[in-house]
């Protein structure tokens, strides 16, 4: 049987190493805001898309622009997104909700003309969204799939792993794993320097005699 995620590959051909297409973050709730912050911290131009007035990311300084999208109809949203991304330079589109992920998968051929997105089929995405299926599998393999709330990805960033930027790089055609290894190497070197260097006192009278 083929692996469930085997179809997940970048839609767009590999981009030039120096190119940095913008990113469109779908949903500016807590998760979307966290993604926007993570991308902006790496110098990516972020354009946020929101649909509810309670989404805090619509006011974020990390988004160059924000826009409200029609979400009452799946077809209207897709038509709007095609037009919206068509005004940008083939942006990377990152959904932050199950609904947006499914809509992107269902209309991938149409959307791929104006943006970069994953090639997972709607069937694969629908299977992944079936939380009861994972809970049943977890019982078989003794895995932990208990429901829980996760607020953003700050704990991941604190560990030196910028997952949204890795996804962005992958969709641009860059080697995301190589980037992650480079970041870990830089962090390790920094930690080693801190271990051997005594703390520096600023504005003090110097070391005690």
Comparing CA positions, the residue from 13, 10, 16, 21 lying closest to residue 43 is 21
143 in a structural domain: no
145 in a structural domain: no
Measure the CA–CA gap between 33 and 17, rounded to whole angstroms.
27
CATH label of the domain that carries residue 55: 3.40.50.20
The whole domain housing 54 covers 23-127+150-195
Going residue by residue through the chain, which has 209 residues, state the pLDDT in tens, using 9 for 90 and above. Answer: 443 333 343 443 333 334 689 999 999 999 999 999 999 999 999 999 999 989 999 999 999 999 999 999 999 999 999 999 999 999 999 999 999 999 999 999 999 999 999 878 888 888 888 766 656 555 444 444 444 444 555 555 555 667 888 888 888 876 544 555 655 666 666 566 655 444 444 444 444 44
CB atoms within 10 A of CB 48: 27
| pTM, to two decimals | 0.66
73 in a structural domain: yes
Comparing CA positions, the residue from 142, 190, 158, 182 lying closest to residue 34 is 158
Cα dihedral 141, 143, 94, 124, rounded to 10, equals: 20
Domain count, the chain: 1
């Amino acid at each position: 049987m083929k692996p469930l995620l085997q179809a997940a590959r970048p839609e767009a051909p590999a981009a030039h190493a120096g190119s940095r297409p913008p990113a469109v973050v779908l949903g500016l709730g807590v998760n979307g805001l966290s993604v926007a912050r993570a991308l902006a911290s790496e110098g990516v131009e972020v354009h946020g898309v929101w649909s509810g007035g309670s989404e805090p990311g619509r006011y974020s300084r990390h988004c160059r622009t924000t826009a409200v999208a029609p979400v009452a109809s799946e077809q209207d949203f897709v038509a709007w997104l095609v037009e919206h991304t068509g005004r940008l330079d083939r942006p990377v589109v990152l959904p932050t909700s199950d609904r947006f992920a499914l809509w992107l998968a269902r209309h991938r051929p149409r959307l791929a003309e104006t943006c970069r997105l994953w090639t997972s089929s709607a069937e694969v995405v629908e299977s992944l969204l079936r939380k009861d299926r994972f809970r049943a599998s977890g019982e078989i393999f003794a895995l932990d799939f208990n429901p829980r709330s996760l607020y953003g990805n700050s704990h991941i960033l604190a560990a030196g792993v910028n997952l949204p930027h890795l996804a962005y790089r992958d969709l641009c055609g860059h080697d995301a794993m190589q980037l992650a290894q480079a970041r870990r190497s830089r962090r390790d070197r920094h930690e080693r320097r801190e271990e051997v260097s005594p703390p520096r006192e600023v504005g003090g009278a110097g070391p005690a005699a």
